[in-house]
Structure 1
Amino acid sequence: MDFDFSWLLWGLPIAFVLGWVASRLDLRQLRIENRQAPKAYFRGLNFLLNEQQDQAIDAFIEAVRNDPDTSELHFALGNLFRRRGEYDRAVRVHEHLLSRGDLDRNDRHRAQHALALDFLKAGLLDRAEDALLKLEGTPHEPQALLALLAIYERTRDWARAGDIARKLDARGEAAYGPRLAHYLCEQALQAPRDEAERLVRQAQQVAPTAPRPGLELAALQRRAGDERAAFETLAQLAHTAPQAMGLIARPLAESARACGQAQRARELLLACEQASPALDVLDALVMLEPDLEQARTLYVQHLEREPSLVVASRWMSGERLEHEELHPLLQKALDQAVKPLSRYRCAACGFEANKHFWQCPGCQAWDSYPARRVEEL
């Protein structure tokens, strides 16, 4: 049977026409999708700028469906979920990004950092730690180290916090010596005496001008019964850290009385009080003054240099009034009025406390409490 070539002549044009129509349909569909994805993306940005996060999330989800290969849309969506507090959805988005084989190295590191932030915000500290440790040697390492430092401080893992502080200090971006000294002192509080003394002396070497290591060392020496050594430590600290004289004054006076160095301590404290009047220094001087009238004179001399309701209240407590029967009521009112003035206040967040803290209980900042009372600020 002979082949009829006329079918071939008809078939070729038909096949060409069908192929052309199919290609046009594909191009049309592609143009529609390309128009839809940017449109949804820009709509999401508009919602985000107007602080309409719910609508922005819906728009970004639509954009991701239209263009599932675009990593930027995933990052935007994951960050929005984290800001909304929907940490499980943020984790799924970033884990999906990390599971993709076509993701380049920079985006992979970025997704790993975003995943760590998701865990951190969700309070899953162990998973956040694992995710942050994987960022070593990446461009996100500095941020990862800071986040790890916050985790170890929060969990009071002072040894590992110290390791991170040393790494950050070695990078030279900021001085972490004072922070490291605090970590060593925190470890010393839980250690046996010999180990505790070694740790606080190491803290002194790390931060020679920081007051806490000297105060902790003096406390250890006092607990061991070596009041003379404690007095010498505190006297030296008064010269190296004069800004902390308010914290040094009382233990200095107590050690001085215990080891027979009251006159030397009185001279040191009096020089500090004359140079910069301070409530705690004045209290330490009064503690060392055997003569009651001379102690009351110290209150008057302080008031001449520095007006103080706290000092006035203390002076008036020993004063006889014309209507003596009203003295208790007046003194009670004064004592109530000066209570807020006798507190310490965090310079970072304003949190007030009756005792001095090295780390603020409110904002967790270190060394944010001045060694002076509210009235003196």
Structure 2
Amino acid sequence: MEFDLSWILLGHPLAFVLGWWASRFDLRQLRLENRQAPKAYFKGLNFLLNEQQDQAIDAFIEAVQNDPDTSELHFALGNLFRRRGEYNRAVRVHEHLLSRGDLSSADRDRAQHALALDFLKAGLLDRAEDALKPLEGTAYEHEARLARLAIYERTRDWPQAATIAAKIQAAGQGDFSQRQAHYLCEQAQAAVAQGDEVKAGRLLDEAHAVAPQAPRPLIERARQQQRQGHGSAAVDTLMRLAGQAPAALPLAASLLLEAAAASGRNDEARALLEGNYERAPSLDLLEALVALDRTSDDAQRPGRERYALHLAHEPSLVAATQWLAGERLAHEDFHPAIQRALDQAAKPLMRYRCAACGFEARQHFWQCPGCQSWDSYPARRVEEL
């Protein structure tokens, strides 16, 4: 049987037509899919701009279904879940990203960081710590170290916090010496609670060496000395405090009175308090001076008149209330009611206020209970700010 060349001539055009039709079909399908994915993406973006997070999530889920290989959509979806408090869904999105074998190194680090943030926001600190550790040596190293530092501070793991703070400082990303001193002071307080005064003293000396200008190690050291019956040594330590960090002396004014009374050094304490009061008048220094005057045998001491002298230079409801408490009024029957009203009004003015978040407290904190900031409480009362 002879081969008919006419079939070849007819087959070429037919093959061309079929190939052209198939390519057009594929192109139409591809264009349709490409149109669907951006449409869903821009729809989600529009919902985000209008602060409609629920609709934005639905749109991004649709976009992810149309194009499951797009990592950016996964990141956007995971961040939205986290912002809405749906931490389980955010974790699943970011864990899915990490399970992909085609993810670039940069995107893998980004997904690891996002996963750690999911755990942090959910309050799963142990899982957050585990997720942050692999970020050492990546572009997210600094953020990861700060996050781990916050975790160790919240869990009061002071040795671990000190290790991380030392790494951050060694990398030239901030001075953490004063915070390191706080960590040592916290460990010293724990040692005191366990009855180990020797260890506490060693930790306080180390804290002072780490941050010589920090007031807390000296105050804690003076408190320990007074507790151990070394009142004179406590006075010497507080005199060093006045020389190195005079702004913090009001925090230790009552301790100075106690140590001076125990060691018979009231005159030195008065001279120190008066010198600091003249440079920077303070309600705590004023109260300490009035208390010293009350214990003095010298009739020339001004005593409560210090309140009136203070009012001449520093308008103060607190000082006025204290002065009025010892005065006799023309209508003395009304005095108790007036005094109670003034005492009530003056109480909020005697609080300390965090400069970072505004949290107020009756006592001074080295770390704010509200925002966890260190050294955010000035050594002055609300009325003096």
Does TM, normalized by the shorter one, top 0.5? yes
SS at match of 2:223: helix
Corresponding residue for residue 325 of structure 2: 317
Structure 1 residue 231 and structure 2 residue 235: aligned?
A: yes
Q: C-alpha offsets along residues 57-111 of structure 1, whole Å, 9 cap, x if unaligned?
A: 1111111111111111111111111111111111111111111111111111011
Structure 1 residue 197 and structure 2 residue 195: aligned?
A: no
After superposing the two structures, state which structure 1 stretch, 259-268 or 175-184, moved more.
175-184
For 2:342 and 2:315, the matched residues in 1 are separated by: 15
Structure 1 residue 327 and structure 2 residue 335: aligned?
A: yes
Corresponding residue for residue 222 of structure 1: 226
Q: CA deviation at 1:11?
A: 4.2
Residue of 327, 342, 367 corresponding to 2:375? 367
Corresponding residue for residue 250 of structure 1: 254
Corresponding residue for residue 288 of structure 1: 292
Amino acid at match of 2:71: S
Corresponding residue for residue 61 of structure 1: 61
How big is the alpha-carbon RMSD for the aligned residues of Structure 1 and Structure 2? 1.6
Preserved contact between residue 235 and residue 252 of structure 1 (Cα < 8 Å): no
For 1:222 and 1:5, the matched residues in 2 are separated by: 115
Structure 1 residue 351 and structure 2 residue 355: aligned?
A: no
Structure 1 residue 33 and structure 2 residue 41: aligned?
A: no
For 1:368 and 1:275, the matched residues in 2 are separated by: 22
Identity of aligned residues (%): 67
For 1:15 and 1:114, the matched residues in 2 are separated by: 52
Corresponding residue for residue 279 of structure 1: 283
For 1:5 and 1:88, the matched residues in 2 are separated by: 68
Q: CA deviation at 1:247?
A: 0.3
Q: C-alpha offsets along residues 274-329 of structure 1, whole Å, 9 cap, x if unaligned?
A: 22211100111122222486211222222222121111111111112222222222
Amino acid at match of 2:135: L
For 1:7 and 1:311, the matched residues in 2 are separated by: 114
Q: CA deviation at 1:243?
A: 1.1
For 2:88 and 2:150, the matched residues in 1 are separated by: 22
For 2:328 and 2:9, the matched residues in 1 are separated by: 128
Structure 1 runs not aligned, ≥5 long: none
For 1:16 and 1:207, the matched residues in 2 are separated by: 83
Structure 1 residue 139 and structure 2 residue 157: aligned?
A: no
For 1:222 and 1:233, the matched residues in 2 are separated by: 10
Preserved contact between residue 348 and residue 365 of structure 1 (Cα < 8 Å): yes
Q: CA deviation at 1:50?
A: 1.2
Q: CA deviation at 1:193?
A: 1.1
Corresponding residue for residue 85 of structure 1: 85
For 1:65 and 1:142, the matched residues in 2 are separated by: 34
For 1:287 and 1:138, the matched residues in 2 are separated by: 59
Amino acid at match of 2:182: H
Preserved contact between residue 277 and residue 305 of structure 1 (Cα < 8 Å): no
Q: CA deviation at 1:199?
A: 1.1
Preserved contact between residue 238 and residue 248 of structure 1 (Cα < 8 Å): no
Preserved contact between residue 257 and residue 288 of structure 1 (Cα < 8 Å): no
Structure 2 runs not aligned, ≥5 long: none
Structure 1 residue 305 and structure 2 residue 313: aligned?
A: yes
Q: C-alpha offsets along residues 12-53 of structure 1, whole Å, 9 cap, x if unaligned?
A: 443332222112111110111112111211121111111111
SS at match of 2:302: helix
Preserved contact between residue 356 and residue 371 of structure 1 (Cα < 8 Å): yes
Structure 1 length-normalised TM: 0.96
Structure 2 length-normalised TM: 0.94
Corresponding residue for residue 211 of structure 1: 215
Amino acid at match of 2:198: D
SS at match of 1:258: helix
Q: CA deviation at 1:4?
A: 5.8
Corresponding residue for residue 75 of structure 1: 75
Q: How many residues align?
A: 377
Preserved contact between residue 169 and residue 176 of structure 1 (Cα < 8 Å): yes
Corresponding residue for residue 273 of structure 2: 269
SS at match of 2:19: helix
